[in-house]
Structure 1
Amino acid sequence: MSATPTRPRTILHADMDAFFVSVELRRRPELVGLPVVVGGTGNRGVVAAASYEARRFGVHSALPSAIARRRCPHAVFLPGDHAHYGEVSRQVRAILDRYTPLVEPLSLDEAFLDVSGALGLFGDGPVIGHRIRDEIAAELGLGCSVGVASNKFVAKLASVEAKPVAHRDRVEPGEGVTAVERGREQEFLDPLPVRRLWGVGPATLEKLSRIGVSSVRDLRLLDRVVLEHALGANLARHLAELSVGSDDRPVEVDREAKSIGHEETYPVDKHTPAEVHRELVRLADAVARRMRDQGVAARTWQLKVRFAGFTTITRSITTADHVDRAAEIVDLVAPALEAIDPTPGVRLLGLSGSGLGPPSTQLSFDDLDPSVADATGATDALDAIRRRFGEGAIGPASTVVAGRSQVVRRGAQQWGPDLDDPPPWDRDRG
């Protein structure tokens, strides 16, 4: 990061307010004003989003659902619906695109916008921020907070200041749009708690507290030698730059995924090789399908196994070719999984592919083998059937239970299992 931007910018950070909860409340208006939690509803789940009424009781995203229930026993817990949130996110994105082609999505519910070239057409940054908020509210019935600043870092911090605040006894409405004028970044940053800076997690916060740093101003005025001694040279340099609002990163319109994967936490632990192999087949089928949809394949595959006691093992396999077919992925990863004893109880299984690139198409002697051509044709046929009849219409034979294919759906299990009862194919375990 350099201290001086190459040209003046007006950056917006648009962040939806309690997005998943707000989307659910459109479908369940009778729950408006109640403490509502969206995420994994089972004891092994985590909170994806909490209404501001639930936040009054200390419930927040990433909190284990079991703890959230203890903190707010009267909260209404709803399972997440990733597909629906994705559709609403696309509607929000369409509104953002009206103001600039320079939109960088960070997740389903937040994005950066560079509106530097749109000021003459729509007004200054705060005016555009209010217009975006008004249109999202009018067309989608959702709340959005917007930060406006000369760079991405300060704009993101400003959007937090614009949000509603949950106090123990009330929910205080936010400003909606918070703008930091160019040249007044330091005035805005100095009073903020140092934990708000990117890279300050619990461990770093504790180290800073030991040397008397609690605010951004404390950090900015601290001798660099002292900071480097406490944190190391790289982190010290990073935080020192942030403390003066230094950030020259442009808004990146095309952010390519570095990896594609999926993981699931199970309501009932898996204890046998057959069980975990079946789950590997399901995960490989889902990840391969997503890769083909995006026209990419992976060279490196990582397996993640978490046991009942939260011990986690990872294994990585790299191949010369870019792979995007489930059967090939299983062949690559299965030996690593078979070498891991599942009898202590597998709580979570994950699979991800990285080193993304176009699928390998180099002609080899294998291409003369009819079975290889048949496999490619079968994969194409499977994709076509799912596009026409839905994801659950067909799947690997080993995942079919009671006549239904137990395929992985994108977004499923993102926040843990929704029910503590075992799924039908596990109920025979007693």
Structure 2
Amino acid sequence: MSRKQQLHRPGPPPGPPADDTGCAILHVDMDAFFVSVELLERPELRGRPVVVGGTGARGVVAAASYEARAFGVHSAMPMSRARRLAPHAVVLPGRHDRYRAVSAAVFELFHAVTPLVEGLSLDEAFLDVSGALRRLGRPAEIAARIRAAVAEQQGITCSVGVASTKFVAKLASTRCKPDGMLVVPADGVLDFLHPLPAAALWGVGERTERTLDRLGLRTVGQIARTPLATLQRELGGALGRHLHELAWGRDPRPVVPEARDKSVGAEETFDTDVDDPAVIRRELLRLSERVGARLRDGGHEGRTVSVKLRRADFSTVTRSRTLREPTDLARVIYTTACELYEASGLERVRLRLIGVRVENLAPAGTAPRQLALDDIGDGPPESAGGGTGGAASVDDWRAAERAVDQVAHRFGRGALRPAALVRPAASGGPRGASDGGPREPNGSDGKRRG
């Protein structure tokens, strides 16, 4: 049995209700989220292997149905390999605006239960329901309510782990997938943990697993029974103590609500390597538009703009600049990204991937603004296709971009766009998997999809 199969094999069959006393931590994980959302509009595909991700030569799997996983397909896998493993699978391009909309509706359900919601991604969150017990019942009853509400209101399923700690709750949700619920009693944590494979512990990657295997430590229980000093000698002080604590079920971390995004970014992988600066600038504009829209949708502004430039040989260069004031304007992000690209010395170097990211985020409108001379009569930046417009203030641009947001919310992203992005992209253009979509296998923002 492979490492992945060990971690995702089904949990125990249903039995008498477990004692959920003291188990106020829930981990809710949507089942094959991207695929589940797609099947809402393609119900004829239910029961078939379905893969969501980039469809180009360098596409990457973002999510796979459980039928596709039976063939060995999983997220972050190159799409070319997924097609070889499951040649009859239906491959669908990602629609990330749609996934974010469903995610937002699901999180509204979570917040109706408790204000203590810690989102980990679009499709999973921790909830501390200790304050909702008197109003809604026992933790297992609350978990059942959430599962029923998600299914009824959104038409998709989720799996819920109920436990006394975040670590155990997450393990429980993993082992009851898909469409299940598992309660791990507070006094039964060690009975649950100790038979699990060592790889179930957070912090055990393939390299650490090989070290543990060399030591004969193949289960969590074996790690727990190993002296702390031995673990620290073999694994290092911090990791050794970390695994020792988890192996004994100790995880004191609280649920942290409304964890603020640290950055917002988007990136594109080209179907063929590109060394044309005009094409690169056009894609920087496209990415800046997406990042700006996501900042405004999330109510954020950021002070640091960075670009990621990956060469054909996979070596990656990043450049960043901190602005005088925070921004959520695509115009400002794009201008800065172009300047960073031009200063990188890679304008005639073949690139396979580019990315734009805004960091050092804060709630929009909270930072003091200083009027500068160049804020008045400052025309738009030169577009990717050339040409400039008339004078416009920062407020004018902000009003214009928010008007575009309103059109996008009503008619879909792309209904209104800069003229430079209307022209057909040059040969070797991007495959369109960005702002949270499929990425290079070694790219950022990756996550296992449940």
Which category of TM-score, normalised to the shorter sequence, fits these structures? 0.7 to 0.9
Look up the equivalent residue of 2:118 and give its one-letter code.
E
Distance in 2 separating the partners of 1:396 and 1:78: 27
**Alpha-carbon distance in 1 for matches of 2:214, 2:115:** 45
- Partner residue in 2 for 1:180: 184
Partner residue of 2:355 out of 350, 353, 365: 350
Structure 1 pair 152–396 and aligned structure 2 pair: CA distance change class (3 A): same
Distance 2:405 2:334 in 1: 23
Offset of residue 348 of structure 1: 0.8
The CA distance in 1 between the partners of 2:271 and 2:307, in whole Å, is 20
Higher mean displacement: 154-163 or 268-277: 268-277
Residue 141 to residue 282, structure 1, CA distance change in 2 (3 Å)? closer
Match of 1:46 among 60, 65, 75: 60
Question: Equivalent of 2:148, from 123, 130, 134?
Answer: 134
What's the TM-score, normalizing by structure 2?
A: 0.80
What's the counterpart of residue 230 of structure 2?
226
Contact kept? 1:115, 1:125, Cα under 8 Å: yes
Partner deviation per Cα, 1:104-149 (whole Å, 9 max, x = no partner): 2222211111111222333322222223223333333322111100
Query: What SS does structure 2 have at the residue aligned with 1:112?
Result: strand
Distance (Å, rounded) in 2 between the aligned partners of 1:321 and 1:230: 48
Shift, 1:366, TM fit: 2.0
Please state how far the C-alpha of 1:290 moved relative to its aligned partner: 2.7
Q: 1:117 aligns with which of 109, 131, 150?
A: 131
Distance, in Å, in 1 between the alignment partners of 2:375 and 2:251 is: 54
Q: Any idea what SS the aligned residue of 2:185 has?
A: coil
Give the stretch that moved more between structures: 50-59 or 326-335. 326-335
Contact 2:51–2:89, Cα closer than 8 Å, also in 1: yes
Provide the C-alpha distance between the structure 1 equivalents of 2:282 and 2:314, rounded to a whole number of angstroms. 21
* Contact kept? 2:270, 2:431, Cα under 8 Å: no
**Contact preservation (8 Å) 1:40, 1:413:** no
- Aligned residue identity for 2:144: H
The CA deviation string for residues 195-245 of structure 1, in whole angstroms up to 9 with x for no partner, is: 122122222222222222221112212222222222221222222221112
Using a 3 Å threshold, how does the CA distance of structure 1 residues 110 and 31 change in structure 2: closer, same or farther? Answer: same
Following superposition, the deviation at residue 413 of structure 1 comes to: 7.1
C-alpha deviation, 1:44, in angstroms: 1.2
Q: Partner of 1:371 in structure 2? A: 378
Q: What corresponds to 1:428 in structure 2? A: none
The match for 1:263 among 261, 267, 270 is: 267
Residue of structure 2 equivalent to 1:235: 239
Is the 1:264–1:414 Cα contact (8 Å) retained in structure 2? no
Say if 2:126 and 2:166, in contact at 8 Å, map to a contact too.
yes
**1:416 Cα deviation after fit:** 5.0
Question: Are 1:27 and 2:32 matched, yes or no?
Answer: no
Equivalent position of 2:321 in the other structure:
317
Tell me the residue number matched to 1:421: none
Per the TM alignment, residue 47 of structure 1 is displaced from its structure 2 partner at its CA by: 1.3
Once residues 57 and 402 of structure 1 are traced to their aligned partners in structure 2, the CA distance between those partners, rounded to angstroms, is: 37
| CA 1:344–1:332: 2 relative to 1, 3 Å | closer
Q: Match of 1:374, SS?
A: coil
Alpha-carbon distance, 1:395 to partner? 4.0
Cα deviation digits, residues 25-77 of structure 1 (max 9, x gap): 22112111111111212231111211111111101112111111111111111
Is the 8 Å Cα contact of residues 197 and 220 (structure 2) preserved in structure 1? yes
Q: Does 1:202 align with 2:206?
A: yes
Structure 1 spans left out of the alignment, 5+ residues = 1-6, 165-173, 418-430
Per-residue CA deviations over 1:71-109 (Å, capped at 9, x if unaligned) read: 111111111111222222233233333432322222221
The unaligned stretches of length 5 or more in structure 2 are 1-20, 380-390, 441-450
1:362 is the counterpart of 2:369? yes
Counterpart residue type for residue 146 of structure 1: V
Moved more, 272-281 or 254-263: 272-281
- Partner amino acid, structure 2, of 1:354: E
Q: Report the counterpart of residue 15 of structure 1 in structure 2.
A: 29
Task: Quote how far apart the aligned CAs of 1:347 are.
Answer: 1.1
Distance 1:128 1:272 in 2: 56
**AA aligned opposite 1:414:** G
The yes-or-no answer on 1:414 pairing with 2:437 is yes
- Which residue is 1:253 aligned to? 257
Alignment of 1:88-167 (within 5 A): 88-164=102-178
* Counterpart residue type for residue 350 of structure 1: G
Number of aligned residue pairs: give it.
399
Equivalent-residue separation in structure 1 for 2:106 and 2:208 (angstroms): 35
Q: Does 2:404 correspond to 1:399? A: no
| CA–CA distance in structure 1, aligned partners of residues 158 and 370 of structure 2 | 51
CA–CA distance in structure 2, aligned partners of residues 37 and 331 of structure 1: 36
1:291 aligned to which of 281, 295, 319: 295
Against the structure 1 CA distance between its residues 146 and 207, is the aligned structure 2 distance closer, same or farther, given a 3 Å change threshold? same
Tell me the distance in 2 between the aligned counterparts of 1:342 and 1:367: 28
Q: Which secondary structure state, in structure 2, belongs to the residue aligned with residue 370 of structure 1?
A: coil
Do residues 386 (structure 1) and 427 (structure 2) align?
no
Is 1:193 equivalent to 2:215 in the alignment? Answer: no
Instruction: Give the aligned residue type for 2:280.
Output: V
TM-score, normalization by structure 1: 0.84
Are the aligned partners of 2:33 and 2:63 in contact in 1 as well (CA < 8 Å)?
A: yes
CA distance in 1: counterparts of 2:23 and 2:44, whole angstroms: 43
Equivalent-residue separation in structure 1 for 2:176 and 2:167 (angstroms): 15
SS at match of 2:26: strand
How far off is 1:320 after superposition?
4.2
Conserved in 2, the CA contact under 8 Å of 1:392 and 1:407?
no
